[in-house]
A = this chain, B = another copy of it.
Amino acid sequence: MYSFNNDYSEGAHPDIMEALMRTNMEQTGGYSLDTYTEEAIHNMKNLINCQNADIHLLVGGTQTNLTALSAFLRPHHAIIAASTAHIAVHETGAIEATGHKVIIHPTDDGKLNVNHIRECYEAHTDEHMVKPKLVYISNPTELGTIYSKAELEEISCYCKENQLFLYLDGARMASALTAIGNDIALSDYAKYTDAFYIGGTKSGALFGEALVICNDNLKEDFRYHIKQKGGMLAKGRLLAIQFNTLFTNHLYETLGEHSNKMAYKLKEGITSLGYRFLVDSQTNQQFPIFPNNVIIQLEKEFLFSFQAKIDENHSAIRLVTSWATREDKVEKFIEVLRNCK
């Protein structure tokens, strides 16, 4: 069985493992107060072209989201998000558990736009309702789609005009950065958002997400929040060593490119066999629609997850590629699919 189930099935890229091995017996300060972390933050500030940012390294995505959002908001503040957003669906109410409502808006393709945001914002008019204060988007979205720079800028403008913070979840940012059609550079995220995170877990690290806080008003005492929410790793250097490796010789982009290349190969092969997709994804998640009996045959050799029922006889599945996806297995998938009756 080969798994297209997610992008965290394997360990880490060998360069990362090697770096962890090499530094293993060194003594450093705990809790991210070490020179590796200093170095990682220094390098990342250059990469995002924002010397003024505060950068914090955390273990996982839900932890990063809940820590950041609860630190940024006052108790009556709410978040606007797509109804498919990770925080809205797949984080077990982590945001609500910190006390904040997530206001959701349906979208066609996982992408929130200014009209959606405006509708949510304007519906909240007085103190009997929550006060929308932060817009949450992710790039790529949960459906693999990506924002254009113009779209990101437009959202950013609307947020600034209405005193809304803009937060971007970059769990799969490596794939977005290297997707066909992408025109958003790393430095653009620092320019257009108040905070965002650069995902490591799904892009070749054992674990780790780099939270970048761009808005000065959101920086104060952030380490207190990390500790309080249980996200401060004792051996914090493990995070830094991984990110340093990812940002050496463009490894991060290289891994993102590979995951996209494998996704595009799947997409092309599936398309050429006459199948359609739930949504037109440019990144490492693809959502082909198959007859249910085809899915049953595919399941005999591959792991993947169910995405949506299309009709009585058809379903969309989710195929995820990663930095570690083997090209021969992609080819095998297409071959098996071709032979399905």
Contact of A324 among B25, B206, B228 (CB under 8 A): B25
Tallying the copies of this chain within the complex gives 4
27 contacts between A and B (CB under 8 A): A5-B29, A6-B30, A10-B25, A10-B26, A10-B27, A11-B235, A17-B20, A17-B21, A62-B230, A63-B231, A64-B230, A71-B74, A75-B97, A76-B93, A76-B225, A78-B96, A92-B129, A96-B99, A96-B101, A97-B99, A127-B227, A127-B232, A128-B227, A130-B228, A201-B235, A207-B235, A229-B229
| A23 vs B28: C-alpha distance when bound (angstroms) | 26
- For the side of the interface on A, what is the size category? 35 or more
Residue contact A89 to B129, C-beta cutoff 8 Å: yes
| A202 vs B235: C-alpha distance when bound (angstroms) | 10
Residues 294-341 (chain A) with a chain B CB within 8 angstroms: 324
Contact with B along A232-275 (1 / 0, CB 8 A): 11110010000000000000000000000000000000000000
Q: CB of A8 within 8 A of chain B? A: yes
| A227 vs B96: C-alpha distance when bound (angstroms) | 13
Q: Say how far A199's CB is from chain B's closest CB, in angstroms.
A: 10
- A99 to chain B: which residues have CB within 8 Å? 93, 96-99
Residue contact A60 to B230, C-beta cutoff 8 Å: yes
Given contacts A233-B207, A234-B8, contact A3 B27 (CB under 8 A): yes
| A6 vs B78: C-alpha distance when bound (angstroms) | 27
- A94 to chain B: which residues have CB within 8 Å? 227-230
- A12 to chain B: which residues have CB within 8 Å? 24
Q: CB of A9 within 8 A of chain B? A: yes
| A128 vs B88: C-alpha distance when bound (angstroms) | 11
- A20 to chain B: which residues have CB within 8 Å? 11, 17, 206
Q: CB of A134 within 8 A of chain B? A: no
Q: CB of A100 within 8 A of chain B? A: yes
Contact of A9 among B17, B28, B78, B89 (CB under 8 A): B28
Q: CB of A193 within 8 A of chain B? A: no
**Nearest B-chain residue to A201, judged by Cβ:** B234
Residue contact A234 to B221, C-beta cutoff 8 Å: no
Residues 1-52 (chain A) with a chain B CB within 8 angstroms: 2-3, 5-6, 8-12, 14, 17, 20-21, 23-31
Contact with B along A88-111 (1 / 0, CB 8 A): 011111101111111000000000
Contact of A228 among B92, B202, B225 (CB under 8 A): B92
Residue contact A202 to B234, C-beta cutoff 8 Å: yes
Residues 182-233 (chain A) with a chain B CB within 8 angstroms: 201-202, 206-207, 221, 223-233
Q: CB of A59 within 8 A of chain B? A: yes
- A238 to chain B: which residues have CB within 8 Å? 11, 206-207
| A12 vs B23: C-alpha distance when bound (angstroms) | 10
- A17 to chain B: which residues have CB within 8 Å? 20-21, 24
Residue contact A131 to B224, C-beta cutoff 8 Å: yes
Residue contact B235 to A92, C-beta cutoff 8 Å: no
